[in-house]
Amino acid sequence: MKIAVFSTKSYDREYFDKYNRDYNFKFSYFETSLNTDTARLTDGFDAVCVFVNDNVNKSTLKVLSNNGIGLIALRCAGFNNVDIESSKKYNISVVRVPSYSPEAVAEHTFALILTLNRKTHKAYNRVREGNFSLKNLIGFNLKNKTIGIIGTGQIGQSFCNIVKGFGIRIVAFDIYKNKNLLDLGVEYFDLSEVFKQADIISLHCPLNEHTKHLINKTSISKMKEGVMIINTSRGGLINTADVIDGLINKKIGYLGIDVYEQEENLFFNDLSERIIQDEFILRLMSFPNVLITSHQAFFTKEAMTEITTTTLDNIKAFKENRKLVNEVK
Ligand code: NAD
């Protein structure tokens, strides 16, 4: 079976080559992302393997279908970048890695909170330059603060377990209540109440038509003065322009993001010698109380191993005409 792997980085190749020894698929690695223009590269392949920023829209799917592609193997959990309705129309199966390491994302989420609060990133640079001053490095105790979690699935749950250890009160909103978290003492409220009560808001729900721009002018107005907002889920959950306004008028005290709405043109690439054209990210980068990482929350050895082996199993099941347990329907 011939598989075209898009958006390949050296670490993807390293993990696929390592574990493919047990599967013997023929992988061709493309650094470019998959989109309508690059879809023609799939001629002669049976399947494509894509990541978070590949754009598998209707017109991309049309080209894939013409080229006889039968499977899209997402090497991630989220599938907001694939037009699932159109894939059905073209009879192309879509599989994903529903759970690889919720802990990886949850732990990075907490790293963002601790870094933004205690400013270890600034202290590191200061001390390296012989500046031992504490000026402007003051943080706040997390104990007895309230954190609002939106989306209490696998990552949200793992995150709650970490948060609990810090003695932080947890309020949450999800369309379904998580029994394990009720047992842990998590209090569920409607969305407005979570916005109202939380000192820190962390997003762990998927991006879809109900959650797009969940953080916007109206929701920000309901939040506490100086709120910390953390997004390690998907960039589209946040209306970037509204958040920038919130930072300028100091309603938002801290922002930590691992994802960004226009990230496909930026993240995972070394652009240090280029002129960045994206005005929103440049503005965000200019705030002293904004911390940005480039979609690295998933990036642990354990998660990469799980992503790779599950993707290989998904492709094997398709090849052998077995039930696709990780199919997106
Ligand atoms: P999950 O499916 O286990 O949990 C998602 C939760 O969101 C569910 O409990 C669901 O009921 C809830 N939800 C759905 N619609 C909602 C709504 N309108 N409002 C509130 N809650 C809603 O998924 P997960 O594994 O916990 O992953 C969550 C998200 O994290 C993914 O969708 C993905 O976008 C993101 N993610 C990011 C990274 C990263 O590296 N930054 C890695 C993996 C996943």
Give the chain's largest Cα–Cα span: 64
Judge whether 263 counts as a catalytic residue: yes
Ligand 1 pocket check for 263: Cβ under 6 Å: no
Cβ–Cβ contacts within 10 Å for residue 326, how many?
18
Instruction: Determine contact, residues 294/23, Cβ cutoff 8 Å.
Output: no
* Residue 46 tokens, joined: 């049976």
Instruction: Determine contact, residues 156/172, Cβ cutoff 8 Å.
Output: yes
Q: How far is the CA of 108 from the centre of ligand 1 (A)?
A: 15
Q: Which residue, chain included where needed, has tokens 């930590």?
A: 256
| Residue ranges in 94-239 assigned as alpha helix (H) | 102-118, 120-128, 154-165, 179-184, 191-197, 217-222
- How far CA 123 is from CA of 111, 126, 130, 286, 296, in Å, comes to 15, 5, 10, 18, 22
Task: Supply the pTM of this predicted model.
Answer: 0.93
Q: How far is the CA of 41 from the centre of ligand 1 (A)?
A: 32
Instruction: Determine contact, residues 30/38, Cβ cutoff 8 Å.
Output: yes
Write out pLDDT tens, residues 274-296: 999 999 999 999 999 999 999 99
Ligand 1 pocket check for 79: Cβ under 6 Å: no
Q: How far is the CA of 228 from the centre of ligand 1 (A)?
A: 19
Give Rg (Cα) of the chain.
Answer: 21
Least confident of 60-64, 97-101, 201-205: 97-101
Q: Among the atoms of ligand 1, which is closest to the Cα of residue 206?
A: 32
Q: What is the pLDDT of residue 1?
A: 94
| Residue ranges in 146-256 assigned as alpha helix (H) | 154-165, 179-184, 191-197, 217-222, 240-248
* CA 149 – CA 159 distance, rounded (Å): 9
Write out pLDDT tens, residues 13-43: 999 999 999 999 999 999 999 999 999 999 9
Q: What is the pLDDT of residue 27?
A: 97
- Report the CATH superfamily, name and number, of domain 2-100+300-319: NAD(P)-binding Rossmann-like Domain (3.40.50.720)
SS3 call for 117: helix
Q: What is the pLDDT of residue 292?
A: 98
Pick the catalytic residue from 263, 264, 273, 274.
Answer: 263
Q: What is the pLDDT of residue 103?
A: 97
Q: What is the pLDDT of residue 232?
A: 98
* CA 93 – CA 298 distance, rounded (Å): 24
For ligand 1, atom 35: residue with the closest CA: 233
| The CATH fold of domain 102-292 | Rossmann fold (3.40.50)
Q: Among the atoms of ligand 1, which is closest to the Cα of residue 211?
A: 18
* Residue 296 tokens, joined: 């690295």
Ligand 1 pocket check for 209: Cβ under 6 Å: no
Q: What is the pLDDT of residue 272?
A: 96
Residue (of 25, 62, 23) closest to 42 by Cα position: 62
Q: Among the atoms of ligand 1, which is closest to the Cα of residue 157?
A: 26
Cβ–Cβ contacts within 10 Å for residue 239, how many?
20
Write out pLDDT tens, residues 141-164: 999 999 999 999 999 999 999 999
Q: 165-195 as b/e, with b when 16 or more CB fall inside 10 Å?
A: eeebbbbbbbeeebeebeeeebebeeeeebb
Instruction: Determine contact, residues 307/76, Cβ cutoff 8 Å.
Output: yes
Q: 284-308 as b/e, with b when 16 or more CB fall inside 10 Å?
A: beeeeebbbbebebbbbeebbebbb
Pick the catalytic residue from 96, 108, 213, 295.
Answer: 295
Q: What is the pLDDT of residue 319?
A: 97
**Eight-state DSSP code of residue 318:** H
Q: What is the pLDDT of residue 140?
A: 98
Q: State the chain's mean pLDDT as an integer.
A: 97
* CA 297 – CA 116 distance, rounded (Å): 15
Q: What is the pLDDT of residue 239?
A: 98
Range(s) within the chain of domains with CATH label 3.40.50.720: 2-100+300-319, 102-292
Mutate to test the pocket of ligand 1, among 174, 268, 298, 306 (most ligand atoms within 8 A of CB): 174
